[in-house]
Structure 1
Amino acid sequence: MEIKLCSLIALLGFLTIANAQTVFDITKCGATPNSDITAILTKTWTDACASPTGATIVIPAGTYKCGVVEFKGPCKGPITFQVDGTLQAPTSPDGDSWITFCSFENLAVTGTGTFDGMGSAIYGKQKSKAVVTSNGVQILDTKIGTGDDCISVGDGMEQLTVERVTCGPGHGISIGSLGQYAGEMPVKGIFVRNCTLVNTQNGVRIKSWPDQEANDVSDIHFEDIVLDNVDNPIIVDQMYCPSNLCKSKGASKVTISNVSFKNIRGTCKLPEAITMTCSSAHPCTNVEMCDIDIKCTTGPAKAVCTNVKPVITGIMNPPGC
């Protein structure tokens, strides 16, 4: 009954804007602050996804409890998921992820609100989350603090734009890890611009597993990045092996090409400001570094590069590679 009522209210309460895109305000479906909106949000998403002219889902001011949800595409039109309130995760999540968006073209997640993962209450209970198998996603004007990657880009991601994101604490903004599983899809067209990383373990990173599965990573661009006390600002790690889980330590089968790092500046805590460890079987190709200015707060910074010969223009501090 509640779902049917929500559908009826939503049909009566939709607001059509000038470009014919429909706005779905979850409070028009019966959602109220401090209540569990999982079912309402799931139904609202289904209706929005079916809109041929595209839709905006609005979560207004207030705190709303939300269980594990998976928003699946493809949708009939572009979708904007606008969070102006706070979405609060369960303290005992059921599954490996909380909120999942998958198989989309033209998805924007935006707003002035917060995704509250409930901090230490769920640390150690979930695996890392990723943006995967999607096309045309935008992550804009967002502050992210977490115990893992702020943004993790998995296989099958194409044309992702990340702009004006502040990350910290966390493990930075990462492409991968890739090459762990058979059948992974290529990653291409990733643009990370005008972002700030504060007290993070890593800055911007590409990572792949050694000697497991093949994949392709191309057209990856990091530009106008500000670093504030970051451990490892720029990393390409093709020997990524967390907790010694690798089957072997042979060369990675993932190819990395057409990557640029431009106007990246700020401070780091560890001496190796730039570490690029590419595959000996598939060296990184067409890598550009332009106007890099990173100072280490604990001593001279350095750059260490293996199996890659980047094209360097403008300022290069630390020197090397």
Structure 2
Amino acid sequence: MHSHVTHADLSAFAVNKVNVPSETAKSRRTQVAHLRTRLESYIADHPDYDLVKMRGSGSVAKHTAIKTSSDTDIAAYVRAGAVGGVDVDETKLLEWLRDRCVEVYGATKDASDFEISHHAVGITMRVSGLKIDVAPVLYEGEPEDRGYLVTPTGDRVLTSVTLHKDFLNRRRAQAGPQYKEFIRLVKAFVHRAKTEAAAAGPELRFKSFLVELIVAHLWDNGWLSKPFAIDDYPRAFEQFLAHIVMTELKEPILFTDYYEANNIDTCTDAVQVWDPVNPSNNVTRGYSDNDRQRLVTRCSEALDKVNTASAAANKTAAVAAWKTLFGPTFPGA
């Protein structure tokens, strides 16, 4: 099985075409750290300031970003009482946050470098061109960096970027560095699948956080009584895709790192994958049954190609099958 395209082949593809180059990743993290340090220093010098603390978030902070991603985020914890409480109008909240960022930087940056984008304040670093999104988290003093994130639908959802990173890093510590690399490979497949879907019709719903949670579920539970094959990427892809195809995403996924299973809110959502930090937050709440079916169908097509590759008579045929998942740059040597 999988003798023509091996774990080493997929790992090499990840290094050459998927992973963010180490120097680029280091540069991004350095710039984000500089921004955080500047904001945090200002906060420390102003004890009554309404910005409380800054935390790195998103794929760059988790080290699961891929080359095609521009996901460079900071969570800005805002004293909720200072801006009108948790239910503050989002437009006014973002304007307030933009003004605070301008205030911190003073005259060292142009006002045009601060722009309100979708649910965040974008700060452009002129030298590198990097854009960092600062997203407000409404904070009421809860421990473990728990606060309320404003979602794209306008809901206030209790979250913790620190616990989300801890959730991921616990499993990476058990599995080794291939755990995050496999997540990046799946994200590369999803990016291509979304691009193809967008060219043909409606959006394919498959958020990055969902990828991370399905991988975590398989690492915790295995698949069909077998451990999750994180040290064999072709087999791990087969397990990942087979899980989606065979369950049709109709089986709830939940975790008990930070709460008991019986704390989960019951619901009738088409897909139920629960936030490991918040038992009231189904991260796939907005997915319709049609979204679920389209995602399952796309993964079924990919699974067929993975199985074709494993049974291929030669490497040329196997590589051709994997190209349908990753595109013409595979194997990317």
Q: TM-score range by the shorter chain?
A: under 0.3
More helix by share: 2
More strand by share: 1
Name the TM-score, length of structure 2 as normaliser: 0.26
Q: Which has the higher contact order (CA 8 A, sep 6+)?
A: 2
